Amino acid sequence: MKTNIKKFQNPEFYFNRDLSWIEFNKRVLEEALDRSLPLLERVKFLSIFCTNLDEFYMIRVSGLMEQIAAGITNIGVDGLTPHETLNQISIKVSELLKTHMNCYLNDVLPQLKENGIEISNYDELTIEEKNLLKQFYLKEIFPTLTPLAFDPGRPFPHISNLSLNLGVRIEKTTGERHFARVKVPKNLPRFININSIKEKFNSGQKVSGTLRLTYLEQVIEANLETLFPGLHIIDSYRFRVTRDTDIEIQEDEADDLLKVIEENIKQRRFGAVVRLEIEEELPPQILNILKKNLEITDSSIQILNGPLALGDLISLYDLPFHQLKFKPFQFAIPRVFEEQKDIFSAIRKNDILLSHPYHSFMPVVNFIKNASEDPDVLTIKQTLYRVGSNSPIVESLIEAAENGKQVAALVELKARFDEENNIQWARRLEKVGVHVVYGLIGLKTHCKVTLIIRKEKDGLQRYVHLATGNYNISTARQYCDLGLFTCDEDIADDVVELFNYLTGYSQQDNYKCLIVAPINMREKIKELIQSEIDSHKKFGNGYIIIKVNAITDPDIIQMLYNASCEGVRIDMIVRGICMLRPGLKNVSENIRVISIVGRFLEHSRVFYFYNNGNPRIFSGSADLMERNLNRRVEVLYPIKSRIIGNYIYNNILKLQLSDNVNARILDKDGVYHLVKPSDKDEIIDSQDMQIGAAHDLISWEPVRLRIGKV
């Protein structure tokens, strides 16, 4: 493609990727700070903030530390070195951790107490409660504990990743002092229900009123003498370790990829320590023991001044306090599935789009289930990335193989933190005769595609499902994703070629309508942008909308800058990382970027090009990141149905661009500003309105929501 592309290489044109991610997690924390949200929803966001940060340190911070250790001083496209990036991360994270802990201790905890959930420190409990907890401890906790000593005859114990620990100083009768470590068990509830313990040890007498909870680690700490009888407990301190878990796999040297990944997962627990969290200032003696044996410096230490591991707060969300959560809603099912005798006749009638979680995921589950049972179905092929531990879809694939159908499954073993689940599923699938493929060397298979081949009276018919999200029934209730059912011949031809590429040696690089990474996606996206530039030069109405989770690819960013300079209006809905800098004069002044963080996780990817009134719309699995475009198998599929195209434009894209409840707009300095309605504006909560729209649209008649001008 020959175009006069300007090169935008000034570091001032780009935000730093990792600092942009921290801004995203800040937006997650802001949801926890929002007092207008139901209380347990705020608790959930406090938890998500912590688990997000854990993964960030395990992957991104560990990578920066490795670069620094290797002496890498390369300056990124944003102008920062790894060392400079790490320093800024430390400053920004420290500020957020203070805000997070203040919110938990001084806002959420008192609010929980007012609403019947009291989380107390152990020393705040009554003598009666402490005595009951002692009984509970001896019966249910003490047998699971393993104190590990550290002295000249016993090496420093291994501290596992993300484990909560007690560092204990003990003194023998001889006056000798030693250090010991006690791991807080992960398989016990972090928050101990005092009410249920009272019922258990008081002959089943029901306890009414406020639900009383306390911390597991504090109960253990109060009873340490049982672990060290005959010794004096000087003091104890809580600490937590985060390790590098970004496993590296030499696929080209692996005879058995499954075994190699299994071995790498085992090695994760021994990765280098990248963070030590402590609850308060430690005595120099203990701190020096930890620093020396964990091989860390002061820069890797975080002092939280409150409970550690607050990702465990998510367990509170399961408490039966429904009035403290969002009002539940009923998932819609398009009426076409009820009007047609079976799912295959419904798909033959028209393309069908599902917008999750507003539409039920059950049509997708039933699609595979019916295929596994239908005697006319000959073949099922599917990609599996993150399917979860209890997957009805994989169970249906197993049933299909047992029913004699030809089943092929591409199970991506390199799906980070889902490797163990996927290994187990792969073994079960292989055991029943499914053709299991583990992906292509050097690439992750991230696309979400299913192909079903069915024998019908007029020959073989191909049914396809393409999606932006995983085949995971749990995340489908929380993630905003799109899925398309179709019998389109060109799409089906392309999907057949795609599976030949994934399972065989096909080098097909000329797809009819699918856009496939790493084969042609980068160039096709650039061509679509250039086409909109050309259309704008001719008609003056160029317009692009891009909805993704992240944009970090400098090549694509430069292409969008070029479009902006040519006058094309660009709206971007970017949930997470955004390295593109909007609003810069003579660079990106025609680009607007918003982020939506709300009740559900925005996860769908949509690419809209106005094309002088004949829109080109694509959806799929790919974000605008180098890894997606270069190192993953991704698919963008065209939306050919005008009704579905109208739905996506009006009831997803245009609606979200008008959101004034969950949306934050990014300025040229990297600051996100919450969009607030004026007294005269209609309140537009795009996620809440899509709940209603999903039910309004179950007949797939295009409905235009009253959302004003974008």
Nearest residue to 419 (alpha-carbon basis) of 258, 293, 580, 531: 258
> Residue 359 corresponds to which tokens in the numbers above?
């539409």
Element (H or E) spanning 56, and its range?
helix 39-56
Q: Residue 453, SS3?
A: strand
Nearest residue to 529 (alpha-carbon basis) of 540, 515, 539, 544: 544
> Residue 287 corresponds to which tokens in the numbers above?
């701190």
> Of the residues 356, 446, 465, 536, which is catalytic?
446
Q: What are the φ and ψ backbone dihedral angles of 135, each rounded to 5 degrees? A: -60, -45
Q: Kind of pairing, strands 448-456 and 569-574?
A: unpaired
Unique residue bearing structure tokens 């493609």: 1
Does residue 603 carry a catalytic annotation? Answer: no
Supply the DSSP string of 201-224, one letter for each residue.
HTTT----SSEEEEEHHHHHHHTG
Nearest residue to 502 (alpha-carbon basis) of 547, 435, 551, 564: 435
Q: What are the φ and ψ backbone dihedral angles of 641, each rounded to 5 degrees? A: -75, 125
What one-letter code names the amino acid at 630? N
The whole-angstrom separation of Cα 423 and Cα 402 is: 20
Spatial CB neighbours of 488, under 8 Å, sequence gap ≥ 6: 351, 464, 513, 640
Q: Do 606 and 653 meet the contact criterion of CB atoms below 8 Å apart?
A: yes
The whole-angstrom separation of Cα 560 and Cα 542 is: 12
The whole-angstrom separation of Cα 512 and Cα 605 is: 21
Q: Which residues pair with 171 in a beta bridge?
A: 177, 232
Residue length, the chain?
710
Q: Cα dist. 187→53, 140, 190, 293, 678 in Å?
A: 22, 11, 9, 26, 49
The whole-angstrom separation of Cα 385 and Cα 414 is: 9
Q: Do 513 and 637 meet the contact criterion of CB atoms below 8 Å apart?
A: yes
Element (H or E) spanning 278, and its range?
strand 273-278
The whole-angstrom separation of Cα 240 and Cα 162 is: 6
> Residue 2 corresponds to which tokens in the numbers above?
């020959």
- Cβ count near 398 (within 10 Å): 20
Could you say which DSSP state residue 396 is in? H
CA atoms within 13 A of residue 602's CA, in its CB half-sphere = 28
Where do the H-state alpha helices sit in 315-412? Answer: 336-339, 343-349, 362-373, 392-402
Q: Residue 40, SS3?
A: helix
Longest Cα–Cα distance of the chain, Å, equals 91
Phi-psi region at 574: left, alpha or beta (left = phi > 0; alpha = psi -120 to 50): beta
Unique residue bearing structure tokens 């964990």: 294
End-to-end CA distance of the chain: give it in Å, rounded.
32
Q: Cα dist. 127→77, 221, 637 in Å?
A: 61, 16, 65
Nearest residue to 299 (alpha-carbon basis) of 439, 138, 89: 89
- Cβ count near 313 (within 10 Å): 26
Distance of CA 434 to the CA centre of its chain: 29
Q: Cα dist. 355→352, 447, 513, 554, 695 in Å?
A: 10, 17, 22, 30, 11
- Report CA Rg, the chain: 28
Q: Would you please indicate which residues are annotated as catalytic (active-site) residues?
A: 446
